[in-house]
Structure 1
């Protein structure tokens, strides 16, 4: 008779990974949008941000229960029983791999910004008429950003606007400070670039 303890089921592994992924989708999506050129998709999962702590707790609870089932002492074995060989998906190594993957997903908001392409610096560009650039600095309030990855996505979009010298986006303050040559770019173009990311400009201020 085989008295091997019950092992964590595949449904537990799947639930843990899905909860971890959902907890960080709001920050993973902006990076995928930059890599895949899907601009407006960046904010698709921003609505999950208020539930992030609950999803993190769910991930920890599910994986904790899986480890408990995996490590709890086995009942006394029959002296004549032949120990059953565990399937790969019920091994300690597999459970450890799932746990590490879930941890990487949960921690993504803290390291995701480092995965973005290096921001290019814009040198002053003369206009077609040779006129000196007319620099203007404008601050935009942005709604919908949930982490530093979102801020980097906005920076990448604004830097594509001709005439923009530099842009600094703050996730904490929910603002973007943009310096641009008004002979080449207009405030509406910068606002449009921000809105194209899926985040939205509130009333812009000087």
Structure 2
């Protein structure tokens, strides 16, 4: 989006996102290197003035059709959409997470006597690109993990068996699913916290 001004983009009816240029007040001085020493003033370290807020936008492969793809750009400031390019990226890993407060998670249904197969189960689903398999579990934690895909970290609450369980279910498979059930995890762990399962695996 480096050659665009301000606007919104869609691919085949799916919203890619907004874009705009960083602007700087005439009273602000845009700097190449930030130095916070000395008196504090708002916007003391303005950088990248006049540059786009983002150069790259992630467009899921599933949004593309075999042919007849339509990219719609609503440009407000006279950018040049002919300079927009698509670049393919090879996926080497995938992430997924699900929380106890997910609509499909119903703890009572798991606790009912004789109800071993409730209809709705909160599930983490992982799928590698075609011709690749899950070769390693980079991260797995049931509890209160923090961060996002690529930067997950264990929280104060963590089930130590998380990685071994995911490895058992997923290693050497193209896709797998891990259910949030009492059989797989200690659902009573850290009762005061809303727990979730976060997983990142390597595809190769």
Instruction: Say whether the fold is shared (TM-score over 0.5).
Output: no
Q: Which has the higher contact order (CA 8 A, sep 6+)?
A: 1
TM-score (norm 1): 0.21
Q: Which structure features the higher share of helix residues? A: 1
Higher strand share: 2
Which structure has the larger Rg?
A: 1
